[in-house]
Structure 1
Amino acid sequence: MRNTNSLINLNSFLSTCSDEDYAWILHIYNAFENNQNSLELDIETLNNITHLKDIKKIIINCCHNFNEKDIDDFLYELKCFKQDINISIDLKEIKNNQRFLNFVSESLLNELRNHSLKSIKNIYHRIVYMIYTYPEISYSRFLSRIESNFSKTLTKHPLHFKNYDNLDFYIWAKNYMDENRSYKSYHYKPTKDIQYKDVVTLVFDMLYIQDELVYEALKKKLANAWYQKKYRKENKGKKEHYYLLPSRTKESLKILSMKLNLEEEKVIENLINQAYVKNCMNHNGQEIYKD
């Protein structure tokens, strides 16, 4: 097939494109082929590559079967599309920030309301594809609003649960929120430990932007529930007792608590245990007054 010159021109154009450009190039190619299921084909390809630039080889190989006119027409469509691109967001800034990645992806999915897009496994590839191939996103101020919302959230809440920033809490919080479908945390299926924090952070990032009152209510609810859970675990087998102490003794207890960096209850427990060992146990460690 005599298409060498056209292939050379196509290859030359593709060589000037960035890695991110190949997301929309793939989309144009499948649409050019008049595929009714072009979105499904786009998603299938995106899920079977490692890097966006891998699409170039796929496109070139497919175009070997085109005649010269078809390649020229395809190249014309690519040039027209590229000429109209006007992206207002720094994609590299998104790529290197997992929290920003999750926030942008979720914001775009909520705006487009196309569940199929979520099946693009690589979050960055998903974002690039949505930004470039949906005019209502790329040709609007929506991307600027996403950046502004994320900046607002990050400034106000760099960490939503700074007092409970550990893996045990995030796993528990994810499962706790899953019980209420209105929080939508059940949509996310973490496969790695670090992803539990990512999910909880994303849920609260989005809540903060959507409804601050709901954000504050859920945050308080989780913090209280986690405190109660830890309190019950730490005080298992203990009973509450109340004793009247002289003001001087109470003040001494407070000072000891600060000095030892322990809760007052723990200070009392330690003092009683030490006194018991000293006065009620022999040198072999046996209890003298045991019933």
Structure 2
Amino acid sequence: MSTDTVTDAFEEHRPVLQGVAYRMLGRVADAEDVVQEAWLRWAGGDRSDVREPRAYLVRVTTRLAVDRLRQIKARGETYVGPWLPEPYATDFGDTAPDTAEQAVLADSVSLAVLVVMESLSPLERAVFVLREAFGYPYADIAAMLDRGEPAVRQLATRARKHVEDRRPRYDVDPARRRELTERFLAAAGGGDLEKLLELLAPDVRLVSDSGGKVSAALRVLETADKVGRFVLGVTRKSFQEDLSARFLELNGGPAALLLVGGTPDSVVQLEVADGRVQAVYVIRNPDKLRSLAADR
């Protein structure tokens, strides 16, 4: 296999490998590191007995991600304030918004699901990602993880129940989410508490991730009144001038990238159900906005 062929074969499958690694780790930089290591093993290893490059590369990437996740958990690092995954740019191309395929992909990379997945063990998370997001047969997953198929089935059942029991149910209509996001930002920017409260569900939650590096709520806020007043207070204090917003597709749905003086300041994504905002996710940790700044 020539150098060009080796590179082309890897690049063909890079999006899948990146998708697996990010769902496993919830961190773009770590996912990119894992994919880069998979490339080094692919380019420098013996490929003579590789019949299916995609299967081989997904196996290597999954095992590397499991090892990386174990290292992260072993360090036992303390995160300041609530934790959210790093925003991940997603694009489902020409897939229609109401297809089952997009619904599965969007759900598997959503902030709400990734937060729940943080409490899975590394092996549970690997099995859940490979089975639920990418539809691999149990036998293939068992081979990738060097486990027996019965054990993999048990891991899958346990992981699926854990996620199903804990993840909230939200609408996935991107047009509806985009509309409510625009109205939410307009009400916040205009200092209109009444309009803001009309958009918020009574038991709405606001999760703000700063990692202790910039100002943000250090605990999850609940109820429309608390969330609404907090949003208006932050808006008045932090975004008095030179604020702009750009809409992106992040983690399977519309999100607003807020820029102050042209520099990424926050990502805001809403979860919606029954025509009201059920959850507000705000990511302000500068480390988690670097990939978006680079994309710009």
**TM-score, reference length from structure 1:** 0.32
Larger radius of gyration: 1
More helix by share: 1
